[in-house]
Amino acid sequence: MDNKTLFEIMNQNPAFTLATCEGDEPRVRTMFLYKADGDGIVFHTGPMKEVYRQIEANPKVQLCFYDAKAGVQVRVRGTLEKSDDIALKEEISSHPSRAFMKAWMADGKSKEDFYKMFSVFTLKGGIANVWTFMTNFAPKEDVLL
């Protein structure tokens, strides 16, 4: 499967599972993708959350996207990079898919305080592999994103 198709699957199925570690214990939770393309896989979370602290302690993660209609699972592993780019935070918070963030800003916070409420992470150059029921027992092929 080529990168374009992999990114399409990710963007069409924005709820993904993120696996991190806390010490020697795995942790997983569902996250909400902002976008995935040749520049990386981008999402955000709050610095007050456990997942943020886990990423800061160990930025090596795995993401799992699932397209239930096609029966395709895309797993991507790699190292997250944190971005404090205000232009990117503005883009994200202004996007229609992030309307829920408007309530965070409505509390009379300055934009500076609002932007401190979330951190953006990008996985660049990840390694993906695809799983389907048909290829369940076949060796997995790694695809560099």
Report pLDDT digits (tens) over 45-103: 999 999 999 999 999 999 999 999 999 999 999 999 999 899 999 999 999 999 988 88
User: What does the pLDDT read at residue 36?
Assistant: 98
State whether the Cα torsion 23-24-25-28 is positive or negative.
positive
Asked whether residue 33 carries a pLDDT value surpassing 90, the answer given is yes
User: What does the pLDDT read at residue 126?
Assistant: 97
- Chain mean position to CA 10: 9
pLDDT-derived band of residue 106, with 50, 70 and 90 as boundaries? confident
Mean pLDDT to the nearest integer, 15-20? 98
Q: What is the average pLDDT value for the chain, to the nearest integer?
A: 95
Phi (first) and psi of residue 20, to 5 degrees: -125, 180
Bridge pairing between strands 40-45 and 119-123 = antiparallel
